[in-house]
Structure 1
């Protein structure tokens, strides 16, 4: 992995969006040897995976195996523990009262993505601290920032109609397992569990994508900045650029794709 390119790309992301939290990278560890080699701090207390991601977004580096997981749902989603019949039948979700009956519970379970591997553990840390490519990148952002992320992604890869969410197992399944299994992006509105355990803000949601799509995505953000951002945002972006080492971008003020596109209330519509 080109570490200089990665750091430059993260700087570009910051200049374009100024995310509140650091981008996070998750790497699957498939054996004890890989776990021991992983450059992160082993947990000494149990912790849900989403809290690991929260701590990584604040600058911490963590590695964990099954005994460290404070949430078995995330261990199932990440392929660290095999799901049992009680879960696979939908009875687990039905017992929790999340869905109206067993049939709906099983339908949700069937459509929820679980990693199709058996991993020994995971390493979760700020993306900038990775020296080899992580498997998945997680971005915690606001709805506006998520819009810009999708615009940058669409610029590079075209229309994506596979977004998948149910407001449950947000960080582990929707933003890690699903992007990893499909090699594509996903957005999550979070879930009640992670909002309680990790303490996310009410205006935060999550985006997950495979690392191989992260660098093109950020370049897509760059390419769509002039056509999409209003001048007030462009001024803030320009200020961040001036304080960074990122190559300057020719920001065009007073112009974007919707300039002059919409009629005002005072304009008279002439029938044709």
Structure 2
């Protein structure tokens, strides 16, 4: 799949599903030499969920290094660094009152999808319809109805079931990026406290992460099912 096709898919998905904002192309790179020329580094540390939201709403493009990721948990699940021990063991969420017991918190965090630590050196973000690179994952944010239509399109050719693997924690990073990146499967997620607090994602919106391998079939099926 070439860049022109990627951009066309971005425009087509936005039109067919009547998305109010852009699908976001995300690429995890193992060397900064893989960053396309012309894409600038983000100017200040920001949370991954905010980056996704900024790109989808404003059309901006940028890359980030580990020190640019304000949420260290997000940086960890995307492979930019080791996860802090207290977060990995669930102690952080337990102390915040998100779980009744430390064991419940630990079990949850043990199941959070993660890219191997330190395997990623930078993350690139760009609107799909303007992409200068082939993404690893595309994150779409929309209404439950739009998520339904996207899910139906994904199943149009092969059938099956859509993965909805979430805990309301580490949502747009672990569920939206790490899970589809690692598994090659789409993942629907409902958001988390951080992504709901620090972004303009509406109460009636949710997200889906789609690996590159399923993008072309999605676009083709979307047009056949909902393009008329």
TM-score (norm 2): 0.92
* Conservation of the 8 A alpha-carbon contact between 1:38 and 1:63: no
1:25 aligns to what?
Answer: 25
Cα gap change, 1:180/1:81 in structure 2, threshold over 3 Å: closer, same or farther? same
1:55-134 map, 5 Å: 55-57=54-56, 58-117=58-117, 118-134=119-135
Higher RCO structure (Cα 8 Å, ≥6 apart): 2
Shift of 1:95: 1.9
Single out whichever of 150-159 and 38-47 deviates more from structure 2.
38-47
1-structure distance, mates of 2:13, 2:74: 28
SS at match of 2:156: helix
Aligned residue in 2 for 1:163: 164
Per the alignment, in what secondary structure is the counterpart of residue 94 of structure 1?
helix
* 1:8–1:33 Cα change, 3 Å: closer
In 2, Cα distance between the equivalents of 1:89 and 1:219? 42
What value does the CA root-mean-square deviation take over the aligned residues? 1.7
* Aligned partner of residue 187 in structure 1, secondary structure: strand
Matched-pair contact (CA < 8 Å) for 2:6–2:131: no
Asked whether 1:202 is paired with 2:208, we answer: no
**Other-structure match for 1:183:** 184
Determine if contact 1:40/1:125 at 8 Å carries over to the other structure: no
Unaligned runs of 5+ in 2: none
Task: Note the C-alpha offset of 1:105.
Answer: 0.5
For the structure 1 residues 38 and 114, does the alpha-carbon distance in structure 2 shift closer, same or farther, using more than 3 Å as the test? Answer: farther
Contact 1:52 1:62 in 2 (8 A): no
Partner of 2:41: 42
Q: TM-score, normalised by structure 1?
A: 0.78
Q: Distance in 1 between matches of 2:161 and 2:38?
A: 35
1:52 maps onto 2:48 in alignment: no
